[in-house]
Amino acid sequence: MSLQSPRRVLVGIGGGIAAYKVCEVISTLFKSGAEVRVILTDSARQFITPLTVSTLSRHPAYTDADFWQPTHQRPLHIVLGEWAEIMLIAPLTANTLAKLAYGMADNLLTNTVLASTCPVLLAPAMNTEMWQQVAVQRNWQQLLTDNRFYGMSTGYGLLACDRVGAGRMAEPAEIVTHIQSLLCTSGKRDLLGKQVLISAGGTREYLDPVRFIGNPATGKMGIALAQAAFHRGADVTLVHGIVNAEIPSGVRSLPVVSAAEMEKAMLECFPTADITVMAAAVADVKPANYTREKLPKRSLPESLPLAPVTDILAQLGHCKQPQQILIGFAAQTGDIVTPALEKLHRKKLDAIVANPIDLPDSGFGSDNNQAIFLNKAGDRIAIAPGTKLEMAHRVFDLVVSH
In this predicted structure, what is the pLDDT of residue 2? 46
Distance separating alpha carbons of residues 334 and 338, to the nearest angstrom = 10
Q: Are strands 120-124 and 149-151 parallel, antiparallel or unpaired?
A: parallel
Annotated binding residue 396: no
Rounded Cα gap, residues 256 and 281, in angstroms: 13
The reply, when asked if residue 294 is annotated as ligand binding, is yes
In Å, how far from its chain's centre is CA 24? 18
Tell how strand 351-356 and strand 368-375 pair up.
antiparallel
Q: Does the annotation flag 329 for ligand binding?
A: yes
Beta strand spans in 1-102 (E) = 8-13, 35-40, 86-92
Residue 212 counted as an annotated binding residue: no
Residue 343 in marked binding region:
yes
- CA–CA dist 170, 122 (Å, integer): 10
Strand partners, 252: 237
Dihedral, CA of residue 160, residue 162, residue 168 and residue 173, to nearest 10:
70
Is 161 known to be catalytic? yes
**Residue 254: which H helix or E strand, with range?**
strand 252-255
Give the pLDDT score at 1: 46
Contact 152, 122 (CB under 8 A): yes
Residue ranges of the chain assigned to CATH 3.40.50.1950: 8-185
For the chain, the distance separating the N- and C-terminal CA atoms, rounded to the nearest angstrom, is 26
DSSP per position, 118-157: S-EEEEE---HHHHT-HHHHHHHHHHHTSTTEEEPPPEEE
Q: Which fold has domain 195-401?
A: Rossmann fold (3.40.50)
Separation CA 359–CA 361 (nearest Å): 7
| Segments of the chain assigned to CATH 3.40.50.10300 | 195-401
Burial string for 345-378 (b: 16+ CB within 10 Å, else e) reads: eebebbbbbbbbbeeeebbbebebbbbbbbbeee
> What residue ranges of the chain have pLDDT lower than 70?
1-5, 70-72, 158-159, 161
Annotated active-site residue in 23, 118, 161, 319: 161
Task: Please name which of 60, 4, 370, 381 lies closest in space to residue 186, comparing C-alpha atoms.
Answer: 4
User: Of 209, 214, 259, nearest to 239 (Cα)?
Assistant: 259
Second-level CATH architecture of 8-185: 3-Layer(aba) Sandwich (3.40)
**Residue 149: closest CA among 106, 178, 174:** 178
Helix then strand then coil, in percent of the chain rounded to 5, is 35, 25, 40
Backbone dihedral angles phi then psi of residue 259, each to the nearest 5 degrees: -65, -35
Q: What angle do CA 103, 108, 109 make, to 5 degrees?
A: 60
Beta-bridged to residue 73, according to DSSP, are none
Please calculate the CA angle 197-339-378 and round it to the nearest 5 degrees: 75
DSSP annotation of 218: -
Under DSSP, is residue 241 helix (H, G, I), strand (E, B) or coil? coil
